[in-house]
Amino acid sequence: MGVLGNFLNQIKQVFGSLPPAKKITFIVLFVAVLGGFALIIFLNNRPNYRILYSYISIEDLQAIKTKLDKEKIPYKLEGTNSIAVPEDKIYQVRIMLASSGLPGGNITGFELFDKNQMGTTDFVQKINYQRALQGELSRTINEIPEVLESRVHLVVPEESLFIEDQKEPTAAVVLKLRPGSSLSSKQIQGIVHLLTSSVKGLKASNVSIIDAAGGTLYHKNGDEGKFFSDSQLEYKQNVEETLRRKIQGILEKVVGPGHAVVQVTADINFKEVKITEESYDPDTVAIRSEQKVIEQANGTSLRPKGNPDSILNLQAKLNSTGRPRANSASRQRETVNYEINKVEKSILERPGTIKRLSVAVAIDGKYKTEKTKDGKINKVFIGRTEKEMERLKEIVKKAMGYDPDRNDQVEISNISFSTSQLPEEIASHQNKWLKMLQNYQKAIINVVVFALFFFFVVRPFLKQLSTLKPSSELPQSGELTYESPEALEEGARRLPLREKGEEDLREEVINIAKNDPQRAADIIRKWVHEQQ
């Protein structure tokens, strides 16, 4: 048995020599302390649960619960529509449920056509196709992280033989978002584009999107200006951030990381301008066409005779003996068409051009160390020279693409930066330790619990055990003689003083030993048993 056997025998002998009341007290305390530490260790080492799926339908929740029971995987129900599993099994369980088609969401897609039914009419086929298309669109929209559930309603009119009787398809989407989530304008525009690309003939103006509370997210021709404004703001921020990175990157190579702060403000022209110009050059003339027409006529004619004032000069007509005379005529016509030099220009200025840039730069200076009278070392700010600041300003201008015609502005200042630690840096530093504690919290708590159990339970027990003796080594009641008061008085004198101020107690014990020896023997026997 060795040392361990002797130790156990000693504990057995000491425990056997205790009075029944002390035995019961010792057992109760030992069980309570041991049970408390065991409970702490159990609670600390039980598995952590993580949400497997949340905000799912009751049907899916019941199907998942049945599957987990069948596979004997522990789980916990969180609320009415969430289920949690041990953290180390969450991905394995998700893969297993996905292979079983869970959660299904009660959405039917094109699997509706997996089972062909004989005798299905053309009308039923069209309805099934529309249902399948709506289900597939809902599944795709549900992949957006902010969307919890969606429903798509399509109205696809039948094709008509006459164009004027043809109606356009329409679509309506109802979105149920996750608590605390919202969709950006780009995401909404993406849903609209998904619908128009999936349904034949569907236009964006015929799409309506609302949320579960009835609020309108997108309506016919109602949000184009809003989407364009959001895209303008995003474009402006991208331009400013790109320029800021370029300027700060080159400055930090010169003055060092963290010694330069750059802010850029860009004035962007979002107007779309179309200019058409026609210009003529009168000095540049070219003959485009030339046409000449020459007419010439030859012949004879009788000379006129008689009185022209007479209405009817019969006598002159009767006595007329006129001779014919020779006639000739000519005419020339010339047409020349000239082409004047003409220049036509059509200029389209797209939105997004930079109208003006404003750049503000703060640069930290140099420091020198000085020793104070108290022996402390302080840093003293030393500003940069004007020549150095001019060089830095030229660097900033080159990096930003400075254009004086745009009235660009550049302001660069040399100031002392604060050396105190930023709150973000402090929080980041603290988060590292918190993350480490979270990762190893179970092991740390186990070590602390075992240390407390050792120092406050095991160690005092061993120390108390070393001061006790088995009952075989203790004097029995028959061995205590109280016929001699002098012996009791001598024993009382040898009692050790445990605290200051016990001199009176010792004198009282001596008096009791002199006057009542039997009572003194009982008191000493009681003390001996209490020490056990």
Structural tokens at position 207: 């799409």
Task: Please tell me which of 176-185, 225-234, 388-397 the model is most confident about, judged by mean pLDDT.
Answer: 388-397
**Residues 298-302: what's their mean pLDDT?**
64
Nearest to 353, CA basis, from 239, 230, 276, 245: 239
State the Cα–Cα distance between residues 527 and 270, nearest whole angstrom: 99
Contact 187, 234 (CB under 8 A): no
Structural tokens at position 65: 């619960």
Q: What confidence score (pLDDT) does residue 383 get?
A: 82
Task: Using DSSP, state whether 262 is helix, strand or coil.
Answer: strand
Answer yes or no: is pLDDT of 330 > 60: yes
Residue 410: which region, alpha, beta or left (left: phi > 0; alpha: psi -120 to 50)? Answer: beta
Q: What confidence score (pLDDT) does residue 497 get?
A: 44
State the Cα–Cα distance between residues 217 and 29, nearest whole angstrom: 67
Torsion angles phi and psi, residue 379, rounded to 5: -95, 130
Q: What confidence score (pLDDT) does residue 322 get?
A: 53
Which pLDDT band, with edges at 50, 70 and 90, does 237 fall under?
Answer: confident
Q: Is the dihedral of CA 61, 62, 64, 65 positive or negative?
A: positive
Q: What confidence score (pLDDT) does residue 394 get?
A: 92
Which of 34-43, 53-62, 233-242, 417-426 has the lowest average pLDDT? 417-426
State the Cα–Cα distance between residues 244 and 252, nearest whole angstrom: 12
Q: How many residues does the chain have?
A: 532
Answer yes or no: is pLDDT of 412 > 80: yes
The tokens 């016509």 sit on which residue?
333
**Residue with more model confidence, 480 or 139:** 139
- One-letter amino acid of 211: D
Task: Using DSSP, state whether 44 is helix, strand or coil.
Answer: helix
Structural tokens at position 200: 């034949």
What pTM, to 2 d.p., does this model score? 0.43
- In 251-385 the beta strands, taken as DSSP E runs, fall at 260-269, 273-302, 324-349, 353-364, 366-371, 377-382
Q: What confidence score (pLDDT) does residue 500 get?
A: 42
66-93 pLDDT, tens per residue?
888 888 888 888 776 788 888 878 888 8
Q: What is the mean pLDDT of the chain?
A: 75
Answer yes or no: is pLDDT of 428 > 80: no
Alpha carbons within 13 A on the beta-carbon side of 240:
18
Nearest to 169, CA basis, from 216, 121, 137: 137
Answer yes or no: is pLDDT of 319 > 60: no
State the Cα–Cα distance between residues 343 and 23, nearest whole angstrom: 117
437-447 pLDDT, tens per residue?
666 666 777 77
Cα torsion through 51, 56, 58, 64, rounded to 10: -50
Nearest to 173, CA basis, from 122, 209, 130, 126: 209
